Amino acid sequence: MELVVPTPISNVQRATVDSQKKLHLALFISGLSVGGVERTMLALAHGLAQRGHRVDLVVTKGQGFFHDAVSPLVRLVDLESWWMRLPLIGWSKRARTLASPPALARYLRRHRPDVLLAASHYVNLAAIWGCRLAGTGTPLVIRQCTHLSRAIVNTNFPTGRRPFLGWMARRYFREAEAILAVSNGVADDLAAVAALPRQAIRTIYNPVVTPDLQARASAPLDHPWFAPGAPPVILGVGRLAAQKDFPTLIRAFARIRSRRPVRLMILGEGKKRRELEELADSLGVRQDLALPGFEENPFAYMARAAVFVLSSAYEGLPGVLIQAMASGCPVVSADCPSGPMEILEHGSYGPLVPVGDDTAMAEAIQTVLDTPPSQERLRVRAAEFSMERAVEQHLEVLFEVYRKSHV
């Protein structure tokens, strides 16, 4: 396989190709558990299927939180075999993914999709090896969703073996016909770590703003904290994990709470719940902190919150930041790698503060509470990350690699 630099096709070419050929597309992810990659790929699969393309969502485990969210227009293909449920394999999403190439190869030989699109670091590697085993010449597009350098540092591999992950990316990623990244920051990082030409990596933002977002944001919300006359609510959304750095947000909240009535709500679940509760207790703000867990419709909360805060230490492209803007909610964000600076255009649409700096975060939140920005301006900016645009840009690349594979 030869890595190619994607080149946009004209509107006339795109319309001609799209009207004459409907592709059989396979989208490959690890599973259907709660996560940004899973949510994004489900949305993309639905958008591609709505255009009339035949779409298979290929997973290493078919059961999971998002199982019922798979579009009825999309066929779910579960690769899980008995041996993938064995201890040390089935218990780990990463191990299950890296053990999946033989099953993926069987799928490729049997169903012969026109193009395979994979997403995330380990899935990308499994897709490359699966294509090798299949021997079908299936064109492969891989999608990097977060910083590869961070994935290497944060893996639980022994320290001495971590460089091996970077070596695998350098050795194998160039076998894909096209490489996508969810932000320019992720693209820059991938080029550096995997020793790839930067021009060979195309940035396509996630399909974050879906057609139903506004309707879901307007849905009724029966919560006393959002009743008329209640103190303003600061909102955070995400897994209760180290990456999201909610301790910094809680410390910033405690600073603001000492000056004025205000509340903090963090939607999400994870292993850091007890740690966050203990921190809030120690700061004396536990009674004004709510941790209701995962919410199916966070947009209704975003539309009613006074300010949304992204406190993450790192991201790929933080969809929740865009979704908050699309819901008309003012935002403050840590200037983490990567995405917030691109989304907020260097602070034009909301303050950016240093990662881990609760003092600067508190001041930025205070400023937004005192002088909130135009909701319409936020919505217009968020519309640039729409489902329609993401589907169109992915189709450009998918059609291009399909055509080159049939020359």
Per-residue confidence (pLDDT) for residue 86, from 0 to 100: 63
Per-residue confidence (pLDDT) for residue 208, from 0 to 100: 92
Tokens (6 digits) for 106: 């069987």
Q: Is the pLDDT assigned to residue 184 strictly greater than 60? A: yes
The confidence band for 9, taking pLDDT boundaries of 50, 70 and 90, is: very low
Exposure b/e, 63-89, CB count within 10 A at least 16 = b: ebebeeebbebbbebbbbeeebeeeeb
pLDDT tens by residue, 290-335: 999 999 899 999 999 999 999 999 998 999 999 999 999 999 999 9
Q: What would be the CATH architecture of the domain defined by 11-207+386-405?
A: 3-Layer(aba) Sandwich (3.40)
CA distance 252 to 360: 8
Q: For the ranges 91-105, 146-160, 178-192, 246-260, which has the lowest average pLDDT?
A: 146-160
Exposure b/e, 163-194, CB count within 10 A at least 16 = b: eebbebbeebbbbbbbbbbbbbbbbbbbbebb
Per-residue confidence (pLDDT) for residue 156, from 0 to 100: 59
Q: List phi, psi (to 5°) of 299.
A: -65, -30
Q: Terminal CA-to-CA distance of the chain, rounded, Å?
A: 14
Q: With beta carbons less than 8 A apart as the criterion, state whether 326 and 307 touch.
A: no
Q: Is the pLDDT assigned to residue 249 strictly greater than 50? A: yes
User: Among the CATH numbers 3.20.20.70, 3.90.550.10, 3.40.50.300, 3.40.50.2000, which is that of 213-384?
Assistant: 3.40.50.2000
Fold agreement between 11-207+386-405 and 213-384: yes
Q: Is the pLDDT assigned to residue 228 strictly greater than 70? A: yes
Q: List phi, psi (to 5°) of 80.
A: -60, 130
- Nearest-CA neighbor of 266 among 301, 226, 237? 237
SS3 of the chain = CCCCCCCCCCHHHHHHHHHHCCCEEEEEECCCCCCHHHHHHHHHHHHHHHCCCEEEEEECCCCCCCHHHCCCCCEEEECCCHHHHCCCCCCCHHHHHHCCHHHHHHHHHHHCCCEEEEECHHHHHHHHHHHHHHCCCCCEEEEECCCHHHHHHHCCCCHHHHHHHHHHHHHHHHHCCEEEECCHHHHHHHHHHHCCCHHHEEECCCCCECCCHHHHHCCCCCCHHHCCCCCCEEEEECCCCHHHCHHHHHHHHHHHHCCCCCEEEEECCCCCHHHHHHHHHHHCCHHHEEEEECCCCHHHHHHHCCEEEECCCCCCCCHHHHHHHHCCCCEEEECCCCCHHHHCCCCCCCCEECCCCHHHHHHHHHHHHHCCCCHHHHHHHHHHHEHHHHHHHHHHHHHHHHHHHCC
pLDDT tens by residue, 147-172: 888 877 766 555 555 667 788 899 99
Q: In this structure, which amino acid lies at residue 225?
A: W
Q: Is the pLDDT assigned to residue 261 strictly greater than 70? A: yes
Q: With beta carbons less than 8 A apart as the criterion, state whether 119 and 127 touch.
A: no
Per-residue confidence (pLDDT) for residue 21, from 0 to 100: 87
CA distances from 368 to 204, 316, 333 (A): 30, 25, 12
Burial class (CB in 10 A: 0-12, 13-18, 19+), 328: buried
Per-residue confidence (pLDDT) for residue 160, from 0 to 100: 52
pLDDT tens by residue, 368-382: 999 999 999 999 999
pLDDT tens by residue, 42-95: 999 999 999 999 999 999 988 888 899 999 999 999 998 765 666 655 457 788
All structural domains of the chain with their residue ranges: 11-207+386-405, 213-384
> Would you mind telling me the total number of residues written for the chain in this entry?
407
CA distance 34 to 207: 17
Distance, CA of 57 to chain centre: 17
Greater confidence, 211 or 18? 211
Per-residue confidence (pLDDT) for residue 66, from 0 to 100: 87
Tokens (6 digits) for 208: 């974050």
- Nearest-CA neighbor of 327 among 224, 228, 232, 218? 218
Q: Is the pLDDT assigned to residue 1 strictly greater than 50? A: no
CA distance 366 to 310: 15
Q: Is the pLDDT assigned to residue 15 strictly greater than 80? A: no
Greater confidence, 81 or 353? 353
